[in-house]
A and B are shown apart, each in its own frame.
Chain A
């Protein structure tokens, strides 16, 4: 058997069964013998992605972020997608897959957070660098992702910063767990002016994830994970209500030009 290389997880087998786990270590910590009952969920989450356990402030920040992201609400496209599964009795996994697929995108989704975190990696707390970056959207040639249509982390349909976004930013800043959130709060008017749009929740999440030391790839994954609880709950809630109580709509057909030969 070829081996699986990992720095995250180690297991020792039961003496009578090489496939049964006697002890499992996460980054060297005994998961079932020691962490269980002592470690918080967010500490385990952080530890899985990083080499070392979080500080108390980092764990608090991640937990607060998880609360902020837990439910984008039933108007959100990813939750709507999950409800489309729930309302017709689709499988549980497919409803979450639907939420992940829709919540993966560049409008309020995982890839928007990835791109915004790339911004933090490139610009740090240099306002001029941010102004330059926010001033021009760049498509990546040959990418599977569509060309960005708005600066990542900002709301293309917003007028002013939503109160929920400001409250989240202020709440997360209070943990003093990195430079990005505080700088974002201090420079918000200048950044919003450069972007031409108000800050979005994805922008706050990106700054928080950067403060926690996550890479853009890790941040994208965590954003996808942390928004699933609301999608799951709303999908389950819609199931007994049924499709008749769920928006369906009416299509107004616009003319389609006749198909031609390729």
Chain B
């Protein structure tokens, strides 16, 4: 694409033309995936390996792929109370399709207080802070600045509880794979130490851990963001299935009296007042 063209000329240049460096398929023949024959060159890749290759165009070591697998599996909880899982469950209870339920559940995982929103802020914080520290900045000063700006440090603290059961198993795995010595993970742990020692009492949460590990294996923010897409998927089908197997419409059912109304009192519809 000629990026120098502007306005309708740019659009006209792209009418009917699909230029791609990523790939295409030749019906009945073969498929090119980022320059490789999918069914020959890449036939031995497993799903995660192909997925991150599709995102990055790069190959990863067996250890890195093992860690990436576990970043997904460590947070696949079949608990229908979790807000994204609940969407899958409600789709099952309402007798919608599994695909619709799971797709919507994944989409709402891009939330502000958890999921992609939280992780991207955490990754941005770690990248900015490491740069500042490398340039001679003081870590505690960076944390204070972050707290002053945002009243929180992304990646630390957690909705519901201030502890994260996913940290220990993933850290243990990272250590066993020799992937626990990267600068971002060291920074993430150092930030936690500072936050625990101070009056803030915030522990590192999963967002800080996984974005640190992702950054340490060379993923950019956008690459890690896309890698995160199926992060919670493993726990969602069980929620859909269980709700589908129970009587329809019984999940999170509320009676009329379960609505606590806090709005305007009963009043007549004032049609005349509108004209």
Interface residues of A (CB under 8 A from B): 1-13, 18-21, 25, 27-30, 34-35, 38-39, 43, 51, 53-56, 59, 91, 93-94, 97, 101, 141-144, 157-159, 249-262
Q: Determine whether the beta carbon of A261 is less than 8 Å from that of B263.
A: no
Known: A18-B257, A30-B266, A255-B21. A144 touches B32 (CB 8 A): no
Q: Determine whether the beta carbon of A253 is less than 8 Å from that of B20.
A: yes
Segment with Cβ contacts to A, from B10-18, B134-142, B157-165, B196-204: B10-18
Q: Determine whether the beta carbon of B264 is less than 8 Å from that of A3.
A: no
Select from chain B the residue with minimum beta-carbon distance to A59. Answer: B274
Q: Nearest Cβ distance between residue B83 and chain A, in whole angstroms?
A: 14
Q: Nearest Cβ distance between residue B263 and chain A, in whole angstroms?
A: 4
Residues of B51-97 whose CB lies within 8 A of A: 53, 56-61, 64, 96-97
Q: Determine whether the beta carbon of B100 is less than 8 Å from that of A249.
A: no
Q: Determine whether the beta carbon of A252 is less than 8 Å from that of B17.
A: yes
Q: Determine whether the beta carbon of A4 is less than 8 Å from that of B57.
A: no
Q: Determine whether the beta carbon of B35 is less than 8 Å from that of A53.
A: no
Contact of B266 among A9, A28, A59 (CB under 8 A): A28
Residues of B16-64 whose CB lies within 8 A of A: 16-24, 32, 34-36, 53, 56-61, 64
Q: Determine whether the beta carbon of A141 is less than 8 Å from that of B124.
A: yes
Docked pose: A94 CA to B100 CA in angstroms: 7
Known: A251-B20, A262-B217. A158 touches B269 (CB 8 A): no
Contact of B57 among A141, A252, A259 (CB under 8 A): A259
Select from chain B the residue with minimum beta-carbon distance to A52. Answer: B264
Known: A27-B264, A141-B124. A9 touches B259 (CB 8 A): yes
B125 contacts A by Cβ under 8 Å: yes
Q: Nearest Cβ distance between residue A31 and chain B, in whole angstroms?
A: 9
Contacts of A29 in B (CB 8 A): 267-269
Contact of A144 among B60, B225, B253, B263 (CB under 8 A): B225
Q: Determine whether the beta carbon of A38 is less than 8 Å from that of B266.
A: no
Contacts of B265 in A (CB 8 A): 28
Known: A159-B7, A259-B58. A4 touches B260 (CB 8 A): yes
Q: Determine whether the beta carbon of B270 is less than 8 Å from that of A142.
A: no
Contacts of A262 in B (CB 8 A): 56, 58-61, 64, 217-218
Q: Determine whether the beta carbon of B19 is less than 8 Å from that of A254.
A: yes
Contacts of A20 in B (CB 8 A): 256
Q: Nearest Cβ distance between residue A57 and chain B, in whole angstroms?
A: 9
Residues of B246-273 whose CB lies within 8 A of A: 253-271, 273
Taking residues whose C-beta sits less than 8 angstroms from the other chain, chain B's interface range is 35 or more
Q: Nearest Cβ distance between residue A203 and chain B, in whole angstroms?
A: 17
B176 contacts A by Cβ under 8 Å: no
Select from chain B the residue with minimum beta-carbon distance to A252. Answer: B19
B107 contacts A by Cβ under 8 Å: yes
Q: Determine whether the beta carbon of B154 is less than 8 Å from that of A259.
A: no
Select from chain B the residue with minimum beta-carbon distance to A34. Answer: B269
Contacts of B244 in A (CB 8 A): none
Docked pose: A55 CA to B264 CA in angstroms: 18
Q: Determine whether the beta carbon of A97 is less than 8 Å from that of B256.
A: no
Select from chain A the residue with minimum beta-carbon distance to B33. Answer: A256
Q: Nearest Cβ distance between residue A48 and chain B, in whole angstroms?
A: 11
Docked pose: A116 CA to B150 CA in angstroms: 23
Docked pose: A29 CA to B123 CA in angstroms: 47
B103 contacts A by Cβ under 8 Å: yes
Contacts of B217 in A (CB 8 A): 262
Q: Nearest Cβ distance between residue A168 and chain B, in whole angstroms?
A: 20
Select from chain A the residue with minimum beta-carbon distance to B35. Answer: A256
Contacts of A1 in B (CB 8 A): 254-255, 258
Q: Determine whether the beta carbon of B268 is less than 8 Å from that of A142.
A: no
B128 contacts A by Cβ under 8 Å: yes
